[in-house]
Structure 1
Amino acid sequence: MEKKQRRVSMVLVVVCIFLVALNMRPAVTGIGPLFNVLLESLHISNTKMSFLTSIPVFCMGLFAPFAVPLQRKLGTKTAITLLIIILTIANGLRFLKESYVLLVVTSFAAGFAIALIGPILNAYIKKKFPSRFTTVVGIYSFGIGTGATLSAALTLPFYNHFHESWTMALGFWAILAIIALCIWILTIQNQELPETAVFTEKVARNPWKNVRAWTILIYFGLQTSLFFSMMSWLAPMLQDKGFSLGAASTMLTFMSIVQMIGNILVPILMEKWSSRIGWLFSLGVFGIFGFVLLWVGSGALLWIAVFIIGIVLSGLFPIGLLLPLDEARNDEEANSWSSMVLSGGFMISAIIPILIGYCYDLTGNHTFTYAIFITLMLGIIATIIFLKKK
């Protein structure tokens, strides 16, 4: 009976992790389907629009180091509750009015909350599921992918349903955060789970003085740059190729669905074929082919390109979460390495969407955009080679 209760408790924890993860992308990725709508409504440049993606991503990096002290001070349960409340308010404020400044402020608040949730949940998973953390991280990344997919698929229908009100379409995501908040409080706050962590006497290594940690950080930054840039710019890029807003949004949704499925399948497959380097090399080569096809292709070839890119993104992200946890010798290292990788990685990835917007404003076409994506893939392969040598 006790084993059964423990199993049920663990399942509830996994469900809560999934629901929290659902809310870690819509505040950012909900902008992409309405990119051109917001551009025209707010009368701003592509560069300014890019800030709506880059600001929360930069915040994810800037504030990630504060996750460990917050977790120590408040505990995982209370810290996550507070952060989900902030995320709910950030999304809810978008109901108020059509304002670029308000979008910037709420993007900052959302980025702050997401920045702290990520490392806290990473360490929590490592601690509670030491023997199955690859699978649980897969469920966590699946939740993030599902949230991104929902925002890509439903933001435009919400916009149309609410009589072309983008404030309603973006603010509606506060409801998803409220659901996660209620279930987290009801199931986690009043429940003490048995500790399953394996403690070690080894002295924790400082990741900031470790070359391998820096390599993982650069890898994470490059792959995250790909994700956020694609979520923001895929629809405008396809519209530039002649697609309507609806068709471009459909293809963005398709890529998100592929990625969402891959987020759970890749970690499960990695339980059987565990070579991180092997997976990364395969995804790297596959990714270059996909982005070249997206650049030069048309018609049905674009669907194939988007399918390939969705698969690549779905694998790169969970592996990025696993790499610092693989290196961790104890709970303290799980916290510090994950915090460093997420912090530096997200700060790197905040640069790319702005760079793409600036290049588009400068040239009026997406030639530089495709070149940037391919360069990012080559950079990822370079970090993989370095990790393999070490």
Structure 2
Amino acid sequence: MPGPSGRLPFAALILLIGINLRPSLASIGPLLDQIQRDTGLDDTSASLLTSLPVLLMGLCLLGTGRVQATLGRRGGVAAGLAALAFAGLARWLWPTVPALLASAVVGGVGIAVVQALMPAIIRERAGAQTAMLMGFYSTAIMGGAALASFAAPRLALAHGWAAGTGVWALPALVGLMVWWRAMGNLGQPASVRTASMVSRNSRSWLLLSFFGLGTGAYTLVLAWLPPYYTGLGWSAQNAGALLSALTIAEVAAGTGVALAVDRFPDRRPLMLLAAGTLFVGLLCLAFAPLALSWLAALLCGLGIGALFPLGLIVAMDHGTDAVEAGQIAGFVQGGGYVLAAFLPLIAGVLRQHLADLAPAWWLMAALCLVLALIAVRLRPGARITS
């Protein structure tokens, strides 16, 4: 597996990029109550701080081919990291509702651009180790969320919520500088296929649905788990620590998938185990949120942490080369994030009108059964010809 330069292994570089792709989202949940008190946002509007960037991520990812043709791969990833840095600085310097919403838009686009381009780059550079490297890339994404959910409320306690949500501009700037220096030799692929070709295959829609529902569970807990527990009397720091524990479990599961996935040419046993684990964790949240809080976080984290990389890995399994695998991943992520964006929004509406988030956990538990049905249908060996 060739590195981008003699000094920086490729695996280390993708970990650095991945860790920057969730703090702008993960730092919001633990501080949402404070943000609402200071800005007057209601629950439905507050849900847009997570739903809006996820929706934009999806819409932008559906245009992977155009992104690559317009910005190039090196420039595209750099532009995405620059957008994340700008979004963080906007929150830090201008802690107002317009700045929060604008930063959600800019940050969502930045994440989308990076995630549109990285799978094909990994496939091209990693070769036979693609599944393992995709697992570590996904794990790095979840690791960034764990760091942000733990650190944001503690930074906010000392410096205010603007610093807790905006300080993540700094690692994005570091990632931008390292990426630009390390990937000077990154060229363009020979051809770019359009997402419309991929969308004509019904199997693409199964892959999209699996990724979207699994990611929907991720965005749901990212946005609403801390407010759920602050509503039950926990402090913002303890609620953030619970979300951090959940995301650490995600990292552990993602690492396990990365190390074990090549031993399972048929990915379905892993997919079913992940969906089942998440299902049990959601039942714990709905039935006994206080008594089983840490068990619920562990189980939900393990389930989500395995579903996220598996959704990407199984999608890329269907490509015959790096370009096709990247295009399939772009389509699956794009439509999947559009689908995932609605779950935090639905939860916000439920909280505003029912003053209770338990129905959201029940809804996600029911969707876990749908995930299992989809997984059963994803037998190995198929290809999507584009």
Matches within 5 A, 1:91-240: 91-162=88-159, 165-189=160-184, 191=185, 206-240=197-231
Query: How far apart are 1:325 and its partner, in Å?
Result: 0.7
Secondary structure, aligned partner of 2:45: helix
Moved over 3 A (4+): 5-11
Residues 14-163 of structure 1 mapped to structure 2, 5 A cutoff: 14-162=11-159
Q: Distance in 1 between matches of 2:41 and 2:148?
A: 23
Quote the offset at 1:327 in angstroms. Answer: 0.3
* One-letter code aligned to 2:13: C
Could you list the per-position Cα deviations for residues 220-265 of structure 1 after superposition, in whole angstroms to 9, with x for gaps in the alignment?
1101110011011111112233322222111111111111222222
Measure how far apart 1:96 and its partner are: 1.9
Tell me the equivalent position of 1:260. Answer: 251
- Indicate if the aligned counterparts of 1:158 and 1:169 stay in contact, CA closer than 8 A: yes
The verdict on how the C-alpha distance between 1:40 and 1:359 changes in structure 2, with shifts beyond 3 A counting, is same
Query: Match of 1:129, SS?
Result: helix
Paired-residue identity, %:
24
The 2-side partners of 1:6 and 1:385 are apart by 37
Q: TM-score, normalised by structure 1?
A: 0.91
Q: Distance in 2 between matches of 1:347 and 1:7?
A: 32
Q: Is the 8 A contact 1:155 1:169 kept in 2?
A: yes
* 1:284 corresponds to 2:275: yes
2:302 and 2:289 map into 1 onto residues whose CA distance is 19
The alignment partner of 2:128 has SS state of coil
Task: Give the aligned residue type for 1:182.
Answer: M
- Between the aligned partners of 1:7 and 1:91, the Cα distance in structure 2 is 27
Gaps of 5+ in 2: none
The two structures, once aligned, show a CA RMSD in angstroms of: 2.5
In the TM superposition, what whole-angstrom CA distance separates every residue of 1:20-46 from its partner, at most 9, and x where no partner exists?
Answer: 111111111110110111111111211
1:18–1:6 distance in 2 versus 1, CA, 3 Å: closer
Mean CA deviation greater in 65-74 or 51-60 = 65-74
Q: Partners of 2:7 and 2:305 in 1: how far apart? A: 25
CA shift for structure 1 position 277: 0.6
CA contact (8 A) 1:12 1:187 kept: no
Q: Give the letter for the 1:12 counterpart.
A: P
| Aligned equivalent of 2:361 | 370
Q: In structure 1, give the amino acid aligned to 2:250.
A: Q
CA apart distance, 1:335: 2.6
Q: 1:248 to 1:334 in 2, by over 3 A?
A: same
The one-letter code of the counterpart of 1:127 is E
| CA distance, structure 2, for counterparts of residue 70 and residue 361 of structure 1 | 37
SS at 2:62's partner residue?
helix
244 and 25 in structure 1: CA distance in 2 versus 1, 3 angstrom threshold: same
CA shift for structure 1 position 388: 4.0
In the aligned structure 2, how far is the partner of 1:97 from the partner of 1:365? Answer: 31
Shift of 1:171: 1.3
AA matched with 1:313:
I
Kindly tell me the number of residue pairs found equivalent between the two proteins: 380
Letter in 2 for 1:283: A
Using the TM superposition, name which of 68-77 and 127-136 deviates more: 68-77
1:205 Cα deviation after fit: 9.5
Task: Give the letter aligned to residue 376 of structure 1.
Answer: L
Contact 1:52 1:103 in 2 (8 A): yes
CA distance in 2, matches of 1:184, 1:247: 35
**Paired amino acid for 1:156:** P
Deviation at 1:9, TM superposition (A): 4.3
Partner residue, 1:334: 325
Once the two structures are superposed, what CA deviation does each residue of 1:166-201 show, in whole Å capped at 9, x if it has no partner? 111111110010111111122222x469x9x9x99x
Give the letter aligned to residue 75 of structure 2. Answer: T
| CA distance 1:169–1:385, change in 2 (3 Å) | same
Q: Look up the SS of the partner of 1:23 in the other structure.
A: coil
Q: Aligned partner of 1:173: which letter?
A: W
